[in-house]
Amino acid sequence: RDKAISHTYEPGSTFKIMMAAAALEENIVDENTNFFCSGIKKVADREIECANHNGHGAQNFVEGVKNSCNPVFMEVGLAMGEDTFMDYYEAFGFTEKTGINLGGESSSIYYDKMNEVDLATSSFGQGFQVTPIQLITAVSTVINGGERMKPLIVKEIKNSEGVVKTFESEVQNRVISEDTSKRMREILEQVVADPNATGKNAYVKGYRIGGKTGTSEKQPRGSDKRIASFVG
């Protein structure tokens, strides 16, 4: 089994890349939209904590991304609403297999109907499961100009006489605009380039690198077991 395509997991904060892109595209936020993080956010009957229990205090949206602040993304998700959230969740390819030409690709697991708490936790990447190849495909969509591509393994097949078959890139759909994609590349570069941001360990002098950390809490909640990841 190839875990990248056959196993599902809760992505955690790497999913915030798609949330941020959707929020910018829908004009729910811009880079300078102000937020305040006290370390906890009450949603319905639940108190949901930020990773920073002391809170990040006042911050703009870009700082919220750099800090990977859960309350910021809960606010964004609740402002977005379930219908728009699901529209983008589907557009980014999370409700279907990518169709990659390898065997054993798994389907994702996601809410059929969300309440307010489900929407809040989904906004920072918890409560649903995706495959790594789905996540990589969605992140690539955000940074490549906004078009979701079908992932390819083989470029061409050759024999002694030359090329027998070529596999062409295939656009599945456009999800965000070129402008939103450019803005996201700049934001994600700051996540790595800023020495105080969560992605600072991925910084390599002389290279422009963007990325996002992720830490999702495994089931059952409260077991103190987590999945740590990084997408760059």
Give me the catalytic one of 6, 13, 38, 160.
13
The secondary structure of 74-127 as a DSSP string is HHHHHHH-HHHHHHHHHHTTTTS----SSS-PPPPB--SS--HHHHHHHTTT-S
Distance CA 208, CA 210 (A): 7
Using CA atoms, how far residue 203 sits from 20, 40, 198, in Å, is 21, 30, 11
The secondary structure of 12-24 as a DSSP string is GGGGHHHHHHHHH
Contact (CB, 8 A) for 134 and 100: no
Distance CA 13, CA 31 (A): 18
| Pick from 141, 143, 132: nearest CA to 216 | 132
140 is catalytic: no
Catalytically active residues, by annotation:
13
